[in-house]
Structure 1
Amino acid sequence: MNSLETQTAGPVTETAGHRVPTDLPQSIRHYIDGEFVDSTDGETFDVIDPVTNATYIQAASGKAADVDRAVAAARRAFVEGPWPRMLPRERSRVLHRIADLVETRGDRLAELESFDSGLPITQALGQARRAAENFRFFADLIVAQADDVYKVPGRQVNYVNRKPIGVAGLITPWNTPFMLESWKLAPAIAAGNTVVLKPAEFTPLSAGLWAGIFEEAGLPQGVFNLVNGFGEQAGDALVKHPEVPLISFTGESATGQLIFANAAPHLKGLSMELGGKSPAIVFADADLEAAVNATIFGVFSLNGERCTAGSRILVQREFYDEFVERYAAQAKRVKVGLPHEKSTEVGALVHPEHYEKVMSYVELGKTEGRLVAGGGRPEGFESGNFVAPTVFADVPPTARIFQEEIFGPVVAITPFDTEEEALALANDTRYGLAAYVWTNDLKRSHNFAQAVDAGMVWLNSNNVRDLRTPFGGVKASGLGHEGGYRSLDFYTDQQAVHINLGEVHNPVFGKAD
């Protein structure tokens, strides 16, 4: 079988200091009903290395026919196969084996992920660990899960029964692809569903690892299916497929709106985690060093390609100048480098199309704010998708770099005077995914958190999240929440069962005289 999971980590070759993993597959193929297959029409697309922008592999380009085949396999596995009918404990054992295998292949996974996406290798290693944690969490949750029972003594008992829904369509993004695939795959299959995964076309390399991991862990054939391709072809066919009752999507808000419209005629269940332009609000009583360190990490980690990035920093005027000076100086020290180097803190952006988008905002920012760090290519990187960590100060709320998601290592800093002004600025975008509040005032922190338009708020901390809590946003940042029981709510139908324990009490129509 020509699959990624058969490859082993080994020495890498170097070209001008840039490492290319050994044992790359000949091509990237779909995985349908337990087999790696080409597209029905034989078409492929180029996958590029973000450091050189050279094509390094061809991937099968999925269309409606390929999605039909994958959905048919998943539907057959759901209707005829054992997976939906297995006890939660039995499914849990499989999920724990999946987590074990992800952990044992973490180095290889990180190597592929870093090469394919441009993420720094140290951060790619963290994503592998998180992917394993996602499977462990839902393996435990489906065993520990307790559903509601409502009793009226001597009269009736009412209980809730959870049932898997069917074929789940999972559409995932190109930032931290393997981890975000696990975030959807784990609860979907834990609940007893079968799946069709459509990974992002920019970063399809690591998705093929799932096939071998699932096979070795004992997941039945047809439960997991993978179709590569473009969103407007493979993704669109999956969204519109009449035998796919639910879609989980992570990506930009404009695409989410299109999916919402295309899914509506079929009345599909939708969970959509979309864009963000999250504020980090720093009050004058905050720990300055902690706030600078956290907000540097919050926008420049993962190359700035993260939906929860605190890319708008609102700073109280009392120490605004000091904050900007320290922040700019530290941003200039952030290490830009080749993704495989352990010292690298910001690597290469994922694709030249995205690089051009980010650089267009950098140029725009020079007309909208005061450039205090970065603003172009980092020194020594004349090619590839490298952007120096870029900081704009004195950015007005009307600026596009204040309002629009850039999804790169670019931050806008804006002053405020009062708590009321800070709240107005924080809420002054169409997005509402995350917010970060830095203050030592206990009342202020909780009151501000409850008033800000954000699905998630971190107080004096940065993106440390318990897997039991809901993940999602408000406004243009999403529809619905996943995480913990919210994921099981989405991936199951909840059926209420009512049992009468006493006399039947109901009016009698048509009673004989």
Structure 2
Amino acid sequence: MQQFQQYIGGVFSDGSARFESHDPAIGTAWAMMPEARTVDVEAAVAAARAAFQSPDWADMTATARGKLLYRLADLISENAETLAQLETRDTGKIIRETSAQIAYVAEYYRYYAGLADKIEGAHLPIDKPDMEVWLRREPLGVVAAVVPWNSQLFLAAVKIGPALAAGCTVVLKASEDGPAPMLEFARIFDQVGFPPGVLNIITGFGADCGAVLTAHSGIDHVAFTGGPETARHVVRNSAENLASTSLELGGKSPFIVFEDADIDSAVNAQVSGIFAATGQSCVAGSRLIVSNQIKDVFLQRLKEKAESAQIGVPDKRTTEIGPLCTKAQLNRAVDLVAASVAAGAQIVTGGAPLDREGNFFPPTILDCSKAPDAPCLSEEFFGPVLSVRGFDTEAEALAIANDTAHGLASGVFTRDLTRAHRMIRGIRAGIVWVNTYRAVSPIAPFGGHGLSGHGREGGLEAALDYTKVKTVWLRTSDDPIPEPFVMR
């Protein structure tokens, strides 16, 4: 089996233990991974802290940091296909998506490379004539970045990129499910020339790795992507070190289609929103809210698309739907579909695992028009399962869209510009896509609220989140300081 190592302080090692990683397409072990435990976490945080305080990094100019990030981006581009193949092998994501996504990941590092020397402070027009006052933006410190297995190189880039641009150092915990591409990324990073310890990459399990890392006294900020329940543990852990947090969590994103929408375009976007990546996406458009005037036509076309999707092994370029990453995800999909059907949802297509080797679950559509309380409408599947509800009025569509504890993404399809603006204002979500879906850019921040978390990743906002403001007062008068017992 292939062997992978962790990366701490610029050195590769096996970790305190080893564990097997399984190929989701066939269910068998294919690689051995390093399992970080408390001693490894301690070493990683110590390395990051030492690097943060070292003149090699602390005194490096922002422009020089940017040049290193440019070099990293170039190496990612050169190694994109290797990274894509590893991600496909270890997570089951189809190769046509991993190849495209990882090639674009390099653009995130280029964006933050260019932004590194543009994180500016400010001069304040202070109300005291003998004072000059300005703000400095300084790096937060040591960042614990925790990423899930899905789109992990992308989700790591929107943490590592702004953190290093701002001058922080990072301990990144890759998911124990499918960590191969992040551990290979460490080998690429090692070639760039960053000082040792600026980035450390480990993987391991909850109690012995994740909990130790997020509660560690040497951590200043925790950037977490994952589920709400794990996020609650992260927030509790951060009470130990009073670290700030940014949480990018899951969603039950509404996908609203009005009667005047371009149906072909909306159907294709809905397929992208829920069946691409086998539904394993935090922004999955998992709740279709469609006008009753076009519902039957829309569902028929969507059903045809779902049933014609090419299901197969993820390393074939013709495959459109691959396996779910873990057996646990497969079982969850089975259980939630069964519970939803029991609550009155009707299966339009799919609904049961495929009778084949691996964690394969077909594109599934559940019509919940007569089952408004079906669990598929409120619980995140993280799989290719779409719940459908019809509506008659704009107000009803908005009410259904906002009937969720999440608030990450949303989609609106309509040709009516004024209606689109009303929906943009009314939908409670961090992202609103209008007449498109699942589009991203390093320039545009993303994130949510409620059970979808807080903070933003991507864009200038993310870089500022990795800084703290220092206020500097400089007295310009040579006169003696006046009355010492009165605050100025």
Q: Shorter chain as normaliser: what TM range?
A: over 0.9
Q: 1:34 to 1:117 in 2, by over 3 A?
A: same
What is the one-letter code of the residue matched to 2:358? G
Distance between the aligned counterparts of 1:501 and 1:468, measured in 2?
40
Distance between the aligned counterparts of 2:58 and 2:329, measured in 1?
40
Aligned: 1:384 with 2:358:
yes
Alignment of 1:346-495 (within 5 A): 346-367=321-342, 368-378=344-354, 382-395=356-369, 396-495=371-470
2:53 aligns to what SS in structure 1? helix
- 1:151 corresponds, among 117, 125, 135, to 125
Alpha-carbon displacement from aligned partner over 1:388-434 (angstroms, at most 9, x marks no partner): 10011134331100010001000011001111111111011111100
Alignment of 1:84-483 (within 5 A): 84-151=58-125, 156-367=131-342, 368-378=344-354, 382-395=356-369, 396-483=371-458
354-363 vs 189-198, which moves further: 354-363
Alignment of 1:17-96 (within 5 A): 25=2, 27-40=3-16, 43-96=17-70
What is the one-letter code of the residue matched to 1:35? V
What is the one-letter code of the residue matched to 1:210? F
- Displacement of 1:318 in angstroms is 1.0
2:294 aligns to what SS in structure 1? helix
Distance between the aligned counterparts of 1:447 and 1:466, measured in 2?
25
Q: 1:122 to 1:152 in 2, by over 3 A?
A: same
460-469 vs 57-66, which moves further: 460-469
**Mapped contact 1:397–1:403 kept (Cα < 8 A):** no
Distance between the aligned counterparts of 1:342 and 1:195, measured in 2?
35
Q: 1:142 to 1:408 in 2, by over 3 A?
A: same
- Displacement of 1:216 in angstroms is 1.5
1:392 aligns to what SS in structure 2? strand
Alpha-carbon displacement from aligned partner over 1:193-226 (angstroms, at most 9, x marks no partner): 1111110001111111222222211111111111
Distance between the aligned counterparts of 1:281 and 1:451, measured in 2?
13
1:71 aligns to what SS in structure 2? helix
**Mapped contact 1:169–1:239 kept (Cα < 8 A):** yes
Alpha-carbon displacement from aligned partner over 1:453-501 (angstroms, at most 9, x marks no partner): 1011111111223322321101110022222222122211121223345
Alpha-carbon displacement from aligned partner over 1:227-269 (angstroms, at most 9, x marks no partner): 2101232010001100111100000011111111121232111
Distance between the aligned counterparts of 2:479 and 2:351, measured in 1?
76
- Displacement of 1:69 in angstroms is 0.8
**Mapped contact 1:29–1:228 kept (Cα < 8 A):** no
Unaligned runs of 5+ in 1: 1-23
1:235 aligns to what SS in structure 2? helix
**Mapped contact 1:332–1:389 kept (Cα < 8 A):** yes
Unaligned runs of 5+ in 2: none
- Displacement of 1:130 in angstroms is 2.2
**Mapped contact 1:177–1:203 kept (Cα < 8 A):** no
2:203 aligns to what SS in structure 1? coil
Distance between the aligned counterparts of 1:143 and 1:509, measured in 2?
40
What is the one-letter code of the residue matched to 1:39? G
TM-score relative to the length of structure 1: 0.90
TM-score relative to the length of structure 2: 0.95
**Mapped contact 2:69–2:109 kept (Cα < 8 A):** yes
Specify the alignment match of 1:11 in structure 2: none
Alpha-carbon displacement from aligned partner over 1:116-169 (angstroms, at most 9, x marks no partner): 110110100012112211100100111233333223596544322111122110
Distance between the aligned counterparts of 1:481 and 1:45, measured in 2?
33
2:404 aligns to what SS in structure 1? coil
**Mapped contact 1:197–1:225 kept (Cα < 8 A):** yes
